[in-house]
Structure 1
Amino acid sequence: GRILEVRGTPSVQHNILMLPTPSLTCSDAYFVFNRVRLVSCIEISTPSEVEAVNGTHVKLKCTFSSTSPVSLQSVTVSWNFRPLLPGPDESVFYYDKEPFPPDQGRFKGHVVWSGDIPRKDASITLQDVPPTFNGTYICQVRNRPDVHGHNGEITLKVVYKVSISEISMLALAVGAGIVLVLIILAIVVSVKLCRKRRMDKDIEMHVPEDQWKDSTAW
């Protein structure tokens, strides 16, 4: 997906053409060395993984950068879906001067445009996500004449409830244990105090009459 224009002596051309192309990235948008020019490409940024609770909305964020001017007329956005099970990719959303949500398939009525082309944002939002939306979402952006570049990929995991990290679960268990111990201690102390008061009361009620008279004689 890169166009390489080479001018100069045959020896210079040979040395340049022997360079390993994998080392060249989109950040090498434009450079001149011995009249060698590399045409730029689009860079796309997406999170690698997103988690959503079943039945909620989730935003699939996709931003891009391009050395060519960005306008509503020059940019096209395509979102596709790759399911977990083997099968062909499915179209999720398309943008060309205006949003085109799907009118059929599993994503009908579930996708809205959340992007802003002048701000180089090509995001979409999935609404009321079911477990069948688990899979990989591919964001492809083209800004004519920049039509080369790697696509962004997001793995969506739809869960039935918000997952709690192991640390949070441990903290919750420890906190619950401490509260339980304090409750047990409070019950034990209360029972002992009640028994002591009852015993003291019984002793007072069973004091012999002669001892009571002796005590009053003083």
Structure 2
Amino acid sequence: MQQARGAVGGRGCALFPLLSILVVQGVRIVLSLEISADAHVRGYVGEKIKLKCTFKSSSDVTDKLTIDWTYRPPSSSRTESIFHYQSFQYPTTAGTFRDRISWAGNVYKGDASISISNPTLKDNGTFSCAVKNPPDVYHNIPLTELTVTERGFGTMLSSVALLSILVFVPSAVVVILLLVRMGRKATGVTKRSRSSYKKSSIEVSDDTDQEDSNDCMSRLCVRCAECLDSDYEEAY
């Protein structure tokens, strides 16, 4: 009897690791749907905001896949459904976000994101993204904290300054480089023109004729002077 109990106990101890492995594998299979979302999102009044949500599923996407977005105001436990998806998009048509929620995802790429148009300060709060893709129905539910503020003068100024840096500085650099390159080309052309300059045959002949005429004039003057001297001597 005791030997039988010992044998049963030994078998139970041997089966325990196997059962543990099966349980762990089962949990992994059940929790094979993973969802990710930004923990904090900052937006500005009147400027469209995108709430990102992505998911990974071990099963292929089918028409049974569902996506649900909910909203909870600050310091409140009340939740409000603002978007539902199942083959088609069903944004809320009532409440705070009426006609302001739009689909910005692609289920075949694992994207379950949405966008909020014309956000206001009243939109601050917590958003949650839930995805179910049977048989993957158990998953984590990430939360996104949205903070909407007025865009101040300093923020606008910094945006203008950044735009100026990105647009005007590269343009100025390109213009300076072009001017330097053009200046170098002009200097090289001037040097080459000076070094390669030669007188034409006409200019050479003109110089020769001028020299010959100068010699003739000199000889004529000398001859005239000699004649005058001879006439003067004969007179006396």
- Tell me if TM exceeds 0.5: yes
- In terms of Rg, which structure is larger? 2
- The 5 A counterparts of 1:15-164 are 15=17, 33=21, 37-38=25-26, 39-41=29-31, 42-71=33-62, 73-161=63-151
Distance 1:107 1:74, change over 3 A: same
Q: Structure 1: state its 5+ residue gaps.
A: 1-8, 20-32, 169-218
Q: Structure 2: state its 5+ residue gaps.
A: 1-10, 159-236
Question: Displacement of 1:13 after TM fit?
Answer: 5.2
Question: 2: distance between equivalents of 1:89 and 1:35?
Answer: 34
Q: 1:198 maps to which residue?
A: none
Question: 1: distance between equivalents of 2:67 and 2:138?
Answer: 13
Give the helix-richer structure, 1 or 2: 2
Question: 2: distance between equivalents of 1:51 and 1:163?
Answer: 17
The CA deviation string for residues 23-48 of structure 1, in whole angstroms up to 9 with x for no partner, is xxxxxxxxxx4797322421011111
Question: Displacement of 1:75 after TM fit?
Answer: 1.1
Cα pair 1:40 1:67 within 8 Å, conserved? no
- Any runs of at least 4 consecutive aligned residues in structure 1 with deviations exceeding 4 A, and if so which? 12-17, 33-36, 162-165
Distance 1:92 1:37, change over 3 A: same
Distance 1:74 1:86, change over 3 A: same
Question: Displacement of 1:15 after TM fit?
Answer: 5.0
TM-score by length of 2: 0.55
RMSD: 2.8
Question: 1: distance between equivalents of 2:122 and 2:16?
Answer: 52
User: What's the % identity of the aligned pairs?
Assistant: 31
Q: How many residues align?
A: 145
Question: Displacement of 1:85 after TM fit?
Answer: 2.2
Question: 2: distance between equivalents of 1:34 and 1:138?
Answer: 32
Distance 1:58 1:68, change over 3 A: same
The CA deviation string for residues 30-89 of structure 1, in whole angstroms up to 9 with x for no partner, is xxx479732242101111111000111100000000111123x03100000111022311
Cα pair 1:53 1:162 within 8 Å, conserved? no
Question: 2: distance between equivalents of 1:162 and 1:40?
Answer: 48
